[in-house]
Chain A
C-alpha cells in the first residue's frame, strides 16, 4: 500500500517535471510519409526521442508531397513552435518557406536528406554518409577474406538513385587496391526483396551455379534477404558458401544473422532526431551553433554483436 502511494507520488512528480520540460520546447516535425520500413522506424524513433526528452512533438505526415510539407511548416510557424524538423521529400523549392521560418526566428533542422538552397536557411542537417556506409561494408569484406581471391556480385539499388550511386562508390573505394577482390556482376534489384531474389537467381545461374561467387554485396538489407533465399534455393549455404554483406540494419537481417545466413550489415540509424534534439537543446540553452552537417555513425554489425538482441530491439519500431 505504502509502496503504491510512493509509486504514485513518484509518477506525479515525473509527470510534473516532464510537463515542465514540455513547456520548454515544442517541436514540429514534417515527415515525408511512410514509403519504407526505415521511414516508419524513423518516425517512431523520433516520437520516442521526443518523449524521453519531454519535448512536445507536433507530427505532420506529408504523404510524399512537398506542398503538404510546406503547408505543415507554415502551420508550425503560425503556432509559434520553438523549432522545426523537416525530412525534405525533394531538394528544391524550400527557399520561401524556410525564409518565413527564419524571419519568425524558428530554427530548422533537416533530417536524413539535404536541400539545394542557402545554408543560412537552416540551423543544421542530420544525415548519414552513404559513401561511408558502402566503405564500411567493403572494409569488412577486405578484412574478412584477407588475401584470398574473392569474386563479388553486387545488388544495386534503384538505378540513378543517390544511395545506390554513393553506396556503390564507397564499396569500390574500400576494395580498391585489393586486387584479390573483384566485382564480377552488378545489377539493380530496385531495393526490393523480390527483385533482389530474382537478380540473385540470375547471378547464380550465370556463375556456375554460384560456385564461383565468394560474396554478395547488397545496397540494402531487403535485397540481401531476397538473395539469401535464392542462394538457399540453389542448394548453397548463405553466410558460409557465399558471404552476405548489406546496409541498413533492418530487423529481418538480424534474424538472418541469428540463423547464420548473413555476415554483416552497416546500420543506417533511424535515430536522426536524437542528434537534432541535442543540437537544438544546446542552441536554445546558450546559443551554441552546431556544425552545419551532423553525420550519424555508420556502425557495422556482425553475428558477434548480439543479433538476437538487436532484432528484439528493432522489431517494434515499425520497420
Chain B
C-alpha cells in the first residue's frame, strides 16, 4: 500500500521537475531561498508556482479535452477576450463580481461554441478551435480598441496579485481547480467516460455514453479555465493587453499535458501530472531568468530540456530502463 502511494508520487514527471529545480539551484544558489515579506511568501520557488499558475489552469482544462482525442487551440485567445471583457466592465464602472462573471460567462460560451463545432458538426477539433483562436484575439482587440485597458479595481487586482495564507492568489486558484477537476473526474465515472470517448468514440456511444454532451461539457470546462487564467493575467498587470495576453500559451498548455503523460491520441490522462508539466515548463523559464544566460539562448535551452524530458518519457527509454531494472533484480 505504502509502495503504491510512493509510486504515485515518484514518476518521470516529478523526477523531471525535481531535476529542473536542482539544475536551477546549481545555476543560482539562492533558488530555494524563501522569505516571509509583507505577509506573503517571497522567493524564486514561489515565482515558479505563481508564473506557472496560468498555464497550469489552462492545462487543467486542456487535459480532459486531449483525453477525448481533441485539442483546444483557442484557450490563449479566450484568455485575451476574458481579460478584455473584465477590464472593460470595471473601467465602465461595473462592480468586480459582474466583471468576473461576465468574463467567465464569455469563457463558458466560447467552450460551448467549440464543443458544438466538435460534437454536433463533427469538425476536427484542431480546425474547430482554430476558428476561435484567430477570431478571438480579433474580438479582444475590438473590445480594447487595440490599446491596453488599465484598471485599478481592488478585487480584480487581488485575483492577480493578492495572497491567501502566504501563497499568491493565482496559485491558490490553480490548486483549488486542480483538486476540484481531479475529484470530479476520478471520484465519479466521468474520467472513465472521457477516456472511453477518446479511445473510440463510436464504441463509447454504442456502449451508452452520451458522447456529444460529454464533449460539449469538456470543451466548456476548458473555456472556463481559459477565462479564469485570462482574469488572473489581466489582474496581474492591472490591465488587459489584447495583443499579448495568452499569446502562444495554448501550445504551452498542450505541452504541459503531454509532459504530464496525456496521449494526443486520446485516452490516458492525469490532471495533477499536467499541472506538474506546467510547473516544469515554468521552472525552466524562471531558471533561465535567474541564471543570467543571454536571451538569445532562451528558446534553445528550453527546447533542449523539453526534448530530453520527452525522450526520458518515450516508450523506448521505458523499455531500456525496464531492461536495466530487470537485469539488476536478476543479479540480486
Contact = CB atoms under 8 A, between A and B. Distances in A.
Interface of A: 34-37, 39-40, 156, 159-160, 185-188, 190, 192-195, 197-199, 201-203, 205-206, 209, 222, 225-226, 229, 233-235, 252, 255, 318-319
B212 to A, nearest CB: 36
A217 B233 CA distance: 23
B290 A159 contact: no
B296 A159 contact: yes
A73 B102 CA distance: 42
Given A34-B146, A187-B295, A319-B148, 15 more contacts: A37-B147, A40-B145, A159-B298, A187-B289, A192-B241, A193-B239, A193-B241, A194-B241, A194-B244, A195-B244, A198-B47, A201-B47, A202-B286, A229-B238, A318-B147
A156 B47 contact: no
B327 interface: no
15 contacts: A36-B146, A37-B147, A37-B148, A159-B296, A187-B298, A201-B47, A201-B289, A202-B47, A202-B286, A203-B289, A206-B290, A206-B292, A225-B237, A233-B161, A319-B147
Contacts of A235: 37-38
A319 B161 CA distance: 24
Contacts, number: 91
B294 interface: yes
B150 interface: yes
A48 to B, nearest CB: 16
A192 B161 CA distance: 18
Nearest to A252: B150
A193 B237 contact: yes
Contact of B146 (A40, A209, A233): A40
B29 to A, nearest CB: 10
Contacts of A156: 295
B42 interface: yes
Given A187-B295, A194-B233, A205-B30, A35 B245 contact: no
A222 B239 CA distance: 11
Contact of A188 (B141, B290, B298): B298
Nearest to A155: B295
Contacts of A186: 294-295
Contact of B237 (A40, A159, A197, A319): A197
Give the secondary structure class of A's interface. Answer: helix
Nearest to B245: A194
Contacts of B161: 229, 233
Given A193-B237, A194-B244, A206 B28 contact: yes
**Residue of B51, B146, B239 ringed by the most chain A CB atoms within 10 A:** B146
Q: Which 6 A-B pairs have the closest CB atoms?
A: A202-B289, A34-B146, A188-B295, A37-B147, A192-B244, A40-B146
B44 interface: yes
A283 B183 CA distance: 73
A1 B141 CA distance: 47
Interface string B120-144: 0000000000000000000001000
Given A159-B295, A159-B296, A197-B236, A190 B244 contact: yes
A89 to B, nearest CB: 15
Contacts of A233: 161
B69 to A, nearest CB: 32
Interface in B45-65: 47, 51
Contacts of B141: 34
A202 B44 contact: yes
B74 to A, nearest CB: 20
Contacts of A188: 295, 298
A115 B48 CA distance: 42
B138 to A, nearest CB: 9
A318 B142 CA distance: 12
B192 to A, nearest CB: 38
A199 B298 CA distance: 12
Contacts of A37: 146-148
A202 B236 CA distance: 16
A205 B241 contact: no
Nearest to B236: A194
Nearest to A35: B243
A229 B51 CA distance: 14
B296 to A, nearest CB: 6
A152 B47 CA distance: 22
Interface string B14-56: 0000000000000010100001011000111001000100000
Nearest to B50: A201
A255 B150 CA distance: 11
Nearest to B51: A198
Given A40-B146, A190-B244, A193-B239, A185 B295 contact: no
Contacts of A34: 141, 145-146
Given A186-B294, A193-B239, A40 B289 contact: no
Nearest to B239: A193
A158 to B, nearest CB: 9
Contact of B147 (A40, A159, A203, A226): A40
A185 B37 CA distance: 24
A36 B243 contact: yes
Nearest to A205: B44
Interface in B222-256: 233, 236-239, 241, 243-245
B292 A185 contact: yes
B45 to A, nearest CB: 10
A15 B126 CA distance: 55
Contacts of B150: 252, 255
B289 A206 contact: yes
A192 B148 CA distance: 10
A159 B244 CA distance: 16
Contact of B30 (A192, A203, A206, A255): A206
B31 to A, nearest CB: 8
A205 B146 contact: no
A130 to B, nearest CB: 18
A221 to B, nearest CB: 10
